[in-house]
Each structure stands twice: as structure tokens, then as C-alpha cells.
Amino acid sequence: MTDKPTNLIDNLVRKDVLNMVPYQSARREQAGGSCWLNANEAGGNNELDISLSDLNRYPDFQPQQLINAYADYAGVENKQVLATRGADEGIEVLIRTFCQSNQDNIIICPPTYGMYAISAKGHAVNITTVPLTNELQLDLPALSAKKDNTKIVFICSPNNPTGDVLNKSDIISTLELFKDSALVVVDEAYIEFCPELSFAKLLNEYPNLVILRTLSKAFALAGLRCGFTLASNEIITMMSKIIAPYPISNPVSAIASKALTQNLADMQQRVVSTNQLNIELSEFLKQQTWLIKLFTSKTNYILFKANNTIALFNSLIEQGVLIRNQSSQLSLENCLRVSIGNANELEQFKSAINIYNQQQENSTCKT
């Protein structure tokens, strides 16, 4: 590599962030020690549990055991990992670190995850929309036409809500296209369902590559609020200036670290059964007379297009089965998204659909 990542990142980052000194918490400034009287903490222990005995202390800025555990799991270096309050905080911090309000823009490729646009709006950052093609892939000609003031390109793969991955070669072309001008963020919130397709292996090759991860999906820990940004150490260092001083609480760190080490097999088992249920649910949906299109899913949800979606959606609600209407998303008219859940939830969904079909039949007979 002839490119110096440092130059790219120094050029991309907001000028005021480049020169900014991060908040110096006592915990970040002074490691070790045994008598901690430097942070106005309460003395004594609050003995809830072995792993929670240190709640009187502020947590480490980036808890070592958690960073080690995630770096090991993801196959990257410790210094390439930033732990955040969910992947959503990663999105927010990236925008606040790299985009100047009322000047810079991000590119989003809808239909896609909604938080990129929301975080951009919250920081008065412009949004350039480069829709996915009819095949729901990246539109490379359109991406290459739009480069002025773009600081971040958000790509979601596997994409939410459509469920399939984007072509690897297109993502690489995008990394190349923006290699001197913008970060390319690949949101891998669902990558555990198809781990072989991760871009994490390419971090050292593309200094403008950023990967978002979360424990909210395959790890089944959405309530924990824990996610990770994987990127070059230059990028992580800049983001560390903007993120809150104690983003990860001690209990979150303890639970997340355990999920990533001792309990890693639980997640892998969940992925195996979800991928099996994905096949079952797809077969079931294919049998429905009202189905117009089933989208390929490499995730724990399935998008489908149907006739009479409003009646279907409402009937499910009446039966207590909640799914997501995606009709308002670009090019997703009459599309619904159902999460795969567990075997029991899938059975409930199926019987609710069967009852809906019965209702429809009865009403056609009457008229």
C-alpha cells in the first residue's frame, strides 16, 4: 500500500475535531492504582454480584476484556475496535466526527436502514440518495457521479429491510471510488447469519473502510445496547474524541464479554436454527396465493410483497402478531417484513396467516 491512511483521515476529519483534545476522564488518564480518590466516586463496594462489585467506579473508557473479546471474535486488532452503545451510536459518532454541519453530506442507498438519515439530520448533515438498482444492488455509475463534499457512504450488507447481501465486487469498487475522498461504512448488523461474507478481513487493505457490528441481532442482546465499530486505528482515535467518556457500563461489559467468549456457542446455535427456520418460513410464504414476491434473505427476517397488504397486516395485528410494514420505503410498495424469531413464534405467525386466509375465503364466498 502506497497510500498513507493518516493523510486520508486527517483530510477527511472535521478540522476542529482534528485539533481537539478528547475529554480526559480520570479513568483514561490514570490506569492502575489502588486508592482511587481522583474521580469523586463513592467509596466502598456495592456487592450485587461478583462481576458487579465495582459499580461505585466509573468504567474504563473502553473496557479491555470486552475489546479483547470482540477483536478475537472478529479477527481484527484491538486498536481497530471501538465499543459503542449499539451500532446506532457508531453511526451517530461517525457522522459527528467526520461531517461538518450544513456543509458535508453522506450518501445513503435506499431502501435501507433508517438511522443513517436520522443521525445525519440530527447533525444538520446533507443526505445524498443513490437508490439501489432494480436488482437491489449498488448503482456504481450513480455513485461515481456524486462525490463533492461526501464524507461517508453508508452501505448495509446484508441490507435491512431487503435481507440480501450486496455484491462483494461492487462494495470493493465503492471503496476504490472513494479511496481518497470518503469513508465507506459497511453495516454488518446481520453478518453472523452469513459470516463468510464479512468485510472485516479487508480492513488492513482499505484505509477508508469502516464496519459496524452489534450484539443486538444474532447475539440476542438488543436490551444490552452494545455495538462495535471496526476501522483503522486513525479512525478509531478520531471517533474516541467525540464519543461519550464512559459509553460502556460495567454490567454491559461483563455480560457482553461473556457472550463473546464462554457463551459464543449459544449465538452460533441460534444462527443455525434461525437459518433453518428461514427455509421453513420461505417455503410457507411461497405457498400463499397472495404472495407477489419473496426477497432472498441471509438474515433473521424476510421481506415479501403481497396483494392486499393492509388487510393482511391488520389481520395479523388483530391476532396479536406484529410485523413491519415497509411500504413507505423507496420501491417497496406492498412489502412487509417479518422477523424469523424462534420456532414457537414462527408457529404463531403461520397460524395467524392461516386464519387470515380463512377470513379472506369467507368474505369472498359471501360476496
Residues 218-247 that bind ligand PLP (CB under 6 A): 222, 227
| The three grid cell numbers given for residue 75, joined into one nine-digit string | 479477527
Among 70, 73, 98, 113, binds ligand PLP (CB under 6 A): 113
Residues 197-216 that bind ligand PLP (CB under 6 A): 214, 216
Q: Is position 256 an interface residue for ligand PLP (rule: CB under 6 A)?
A: no
Query: For 277-286, which contacts have Cβ atoms below 8 Å and span 24 or more sequence positions?
Result: 277/340, 277/341, 277/342, 277/343, 277/346, 278/302, 278/340, 280/346, 281/338, 281/340, 281/346, 281/349, 284/350, 284/353
Q: Is position 304 an interface residue for ligand PLP (rule: CB under 6 A)?
A: no
312 vs 38, 315, 338, 342, 356, CA distance in Å? 60, 5, 12, 21, 7
Q: Is position 109 an interface residue for ligand PLP (rule: CB under 6 A)?
A: no
Q: Which residues pair with 230 in a beta bridge?
A: 81, 211
Judged by beta carbon, residue 59 or residue 86, the one nearer ligand PLP is: 86
**Which residue number has the CB closest to ligand PLP?**
86
Minimum separation from the CB atom of position 5 to ligand PLP (A): 25
Judged by beta carbon, residue 118 or residue 142, the one nearer ligand PLP is: 118
Distance CA 327, CA 346 (A): 22
Q: What's the distance, CA 180 to chain centroid?
A: 25
Is the peptide bond preceding residue 207 cis, with omega within 30 degrees of 0?
no
Query: Which range touches ligand PLP (CB under 6 A), out of 86-94, 241-249, 251-259, 347-355?
Result: 86-94
CA angle 163, 166, 167 (to 5 degrees): 145
| The three grid cell numbers given for residue 61, joined into one nine-digit string | 473508557
Minimum separation from the CB atom of position 32 to ligand PLP (A): 32
Minimum separation from the CB atom of position 124 to ligand PLP (A): 22
Minimum separation from the CB atom of position 120 to ligand PLP (A): 14
Query: Which range touches ligand PLP (CB under 6 A), out of 80-88, 125-133, 252-260, 302-310?
Result: 80-88
Distance CA 104, CA 95 (A): 10
Environment class of residue 325 by beta-carbon count within 10 Å: exposed (0-12), middle (13-18) or buried (19+)?
A: middle
Minimum separation from the CB atom of position 158 to ligand PLP (A): 8
Query: Which range touches ligand PLP (CB under 6 A), out of 84-92, 244-252, 262-270, 336-344?
Result: 84-92
User: Roughly how many angstroms between the first and final C-alpha of the chain, as a whole number?
Assistant: 71
What DSSP line would sit under 54-79, residue for residue? TTTSPPPSS-HHHHHHHHHHHTS-GG
Judged by beta carbon, residue 156 or residue 194, the one nearer ligand PLP is: 156
Q: Is position 259 an interface residue for ligand PLP (rule: CB under 6 A)?
A: no
Q: Is position 62 an interface residue for ligand PLP (rule: CB under 6 A)?
A: no
Minimum separation from the CB atom of position 87 to ligand PLP (A): 4
Minimum separation from the CB atom of position 160 to ligand PLP (A): 4
Kindly give the interhelix angle for 250-260 and 264-286, rounded to the nearest 10 degrees. 70
Among 92, 104, 164, 187, binds ligand PLP (CB under 6 A): 187
Residues in contact with ligand PLP, shown as a per-residue x/- string from 127 to 166 under the rule CB under 6 A: -----------------------------x---x------
Query: Which range touches ligand PLP (CB under 6 A), out of 81-89, 126-134, 173-181, 339-347?
Result: 81-89
Minimum separation from the CB atom of position 164 to ligand PLP (A): 13
| Cβ contact 334:327 at 8 Å | yes
* Residue among 251, 204, 316 nearest 57 (CA): 251
Judged by beta carbon, residue 14 or residue 337, the one nearer ligand PLP is: 337
| Residue numbers at the binding site for ligand PLP (CB under 6 A) | 86-88, 113, 156, 160, 187, 189, 214, 216, 222, 227
